[in-house]
A and B are shown apart, each in its own frame.
Chain A
Amino acid sequence: MQENTQGKEGSFMVDILKLINVEVERNGKRILKGISLSIKKGMIHALLGPNGSGKSTLAFAIMGVYKLSKGNVYFEGKDISRKPIYERARLGISMAWQSPATFEGLTVKEYLSIGGNANVEEALRMVNLDPARYLDRVMDSSLSGGERKRIELASVVAMKPKLAILDEPDSGIDFVTLDELMRVISDLKKEGITVLLITHREEVARIADRASLICDGYLVKSGNTWEVTKFFRKMCGRCKYGRYSEVKGIEPS
C-alpha cells in the first residue's frame, strides 16, 4: 500500500499514513463517513474543519483509541487497522491530546520518560519550559491548562515519533504561546517528523505543506494548504452549522 508520488519540488514523497474508506461509529451514530486520505512523509499536514466535524475522531481512529467500523489504516505500508494503541505507539505514532489527562502522583519527568525516552530535559526546553522547575512537578490539576498542553507537546517531542498527531494544540493558549507552538511544529518537521496538525484555525493551518478539510464526517477537500484554507473560509461563511449537505453546493475556486 506504500505509494510514491511526485512532490512539488520534484522529489519522490512516500505516504507514511494512508486511510482508505475509514468509518467510525460512536453510540450508533456514524461519525466518520468513508474517509480516504494520504499523509506524506516528512510533511506537515493540517486537518481543518469546524467544531464537531470529526477531526479528533479521526485522530483517535489513527491512534487506535477508536475502532474502525469500516475501512483500513496503513502506516508505512503496513495495515495497522486492528493493532492496539500501544503497538501503534511502538511503531512510531504519537499523539498530543487536545485536553491532556492529569495524573495524581506522577511527575512530569516520569510522564515524559514513559516508553524509555531519554531526552526529557531537551523536550521540555523545546516547548520553552525550564526543566529545573518542571521535572519534579506532579502531573495533576496544580498545572495550568497551558502548562499541561506544553508538557503534552513535550511528551510527543520526547518520543521522537515518525508521525506526530497534534490534536488542536492551539486551543486555549495565548498568542505568545501560539508563536512558540508554530516554532515547535517547524522544529518537528526539521527533525524529519511527519506532523498531522488538527486545527480549526486557518492561521495555524498555514504552516502546513498540505491540508485536508473535514465536514460532518466527510472529507471535503484535500491538497494545497492555500486552496484548502481558502475553501474552508468560504465554507465557514456560507455554512452556519458546517453540514456536508451545505458544503456540497460550494464549488472550490
Chain B
Amino acid sequence: MSLVDIYRSLGVTLDKGIAYLVVDGNEILKANEVRGISMEKEETREGIDLRLVIKEGIKLKEPIHLCFGVSKERAVQKIHAEIIAERDSHACLLAHCIFPKAKEVHHVMDGNLLIEKGAELSYEEIHWHGEEGGADVFPRLRTRNLGDFRSTFSLLRGRVGRLGIDYLVEAGERSVTEIITKVYGKGNDEIRIKEGVSLNGAYARSVIKSRIAVRDRAFSDVVSITEGNAPYVRGHVDGTEIVQGEAIAKATPIVKVNHEKAKVTHEAAIGSVDRKQLETLMAKGLEEKEAIDVIIKGMLR
C-alpha cells in the first residue's frame, strides 16, 4: 500500500478541488494547488523545501492537506517550510505525519510562519507513529502572529518514540494565539515539549494548553512559557498531565510579565488519574482499566 493509499484510507481527501501535498521521505508523490494559494516545493537530499502562501483576502473553505509521511522503516525526513497567511486570509492547514513502520525514522520539521493582520490560520498537526516506537520527531515552529493563529499538535495513535516540540510565537497587537498539544506516551517514549508565546503587542491574547498522559516507563517534560510584554495583553498557561505505572512527568509553567498592565495566569495539574472520576465511572460498571481509558481519552480529545 503506497502512502497515498494509506492517507486515503485514513479519510484524507486528495481531490481536485482540494489543495494538498503528499511527501514520502524526500519524494513528492502528489500535489495540488487551488486558486488563492501558491505552493513552491522542492525535493532536497533529505526532505523537501516548501513555501506556501495564502494570498491576501482569500478565504479557503476546505483545509490544505500537508501529508508528510515515511513509508520506510528507516529514513531521515527534513521539512523546511515557510508559510505565510497574507492579510485577511483564512485557511486551515492539516499536517498528517504518518510513520507506520518506523524503526529508525528521524523527522525534523523546521517551520517559519507569518500570519499577517486580519488573517486567520489554523495549523493542525496529527501524528501516527506505528507501534515500534522508532520515530524521532522534532517539530520546530517560529511564528510571527499579527492575526489569529491556532495550533493543535496531537500524537495519540501508536507509540511516540522520541518527541521534541519547540514552538515559539511572537504575538503582535490584538492578535490571538492558541497552542494545544495532546500526546499519549507509552513504553519508554520520551516527550519533551517547549512552547512559548511572547505577547509583544498591546491587547494580544494567548492560551497554551497541554494535555499529556504517560504510562509504563514513558517520560514527559513540558515547559510552557508566556511573556506579557505590552499593555493589556492576557496570557494563560493550562497544563494537565496524567501519570500511570512507572512513568515520570514534569511540567514547568513559566510566566513572565514585563509591563504593569499585562496579565498572565497559569494552572497545572500533574498526577495519577483523579480518584473521584475513577470511582464515578467504576460505579457505572466499568473496571478500573476501562475507566482510566475513558478518562484519558476524554482528556486527550
Contact = CB atoms under 8 A, between A and B. Distances in A.
A89 B283 contact: yes
Interface residues of B, number: 23
Given A84-B282, A86-B282, A101 B277 contact: yes
B298 A114 contact: no
A138 B112 CA distance: 35
Interface of B: 211, 240, 274, 276-277, 279-288, 291, 294-295, 297-301
Given A86-B282, A86-B286, A114-B284, 20 more contacts: A65-B279, A85-B282, A86-B291, A94-B283, A95-B283, A97-B283, A101-B280, A103-B295, A103-B298, A104-B211, A104-B240, A104-B298, A104-B301, A105-B300, A114-B281, A114-B285, A114-B294, A115-B284, A115-B286, A155-B284
Contacts of B298: 103-106
A86 B287 contact: yes
Contact of B286 (A100, A101, A103, A114): A114
B227 to A, nearest CB: 27
B282 A105 contact: no
A104 B213 CA distance: 14
Nearest to A155: B284
Interface residues of A, number: 21
A223 to B, nearest CB: 29
Contact of A65 (B240, B277, B283, B287): B283
A89 B280 contact: no
Interface of A: 63, 65, 84-86, 88-90, 94-95, 97, 100-101, 103-106, 114-115, 155, 159
Contacts of A65: 279, 283
Shortest Cβ-Cβ A-B pairs, 9 listed: A105-B298, A105-B301, A85-B282, A89-B285, A115-B285, A106-B298, A114-B284, A101-B280, A101-B276
Contacts of A105: 297-301
B283 A103 contact: no
A95 B276 CA distance: 13
Contacts of B277: 101, 103
Contacts of A115: 284-286
A135 to B, nearest CB: 16
A105 B296 CA distance: 9
Given A101-B274, A105-B299, A89 B294 contact: no
A150 to B, nearest CB: 16
A86 B284 CA distance: 7
B279 A85 contact: yes
A89 B282 CA distance: 8
Nearest to A102: B277
Given A86-B286, A115-B285, A104 B299 contact: yes
A64 to B, nearest CB: 8
Contacts of B300: 105
Given A105-B301, A106-B298, A100 B280 contact: yes
Interface centre among B280, B282, B283, B298 (most CB of A within 10 A): B283
A155 B281 CA distance: 11
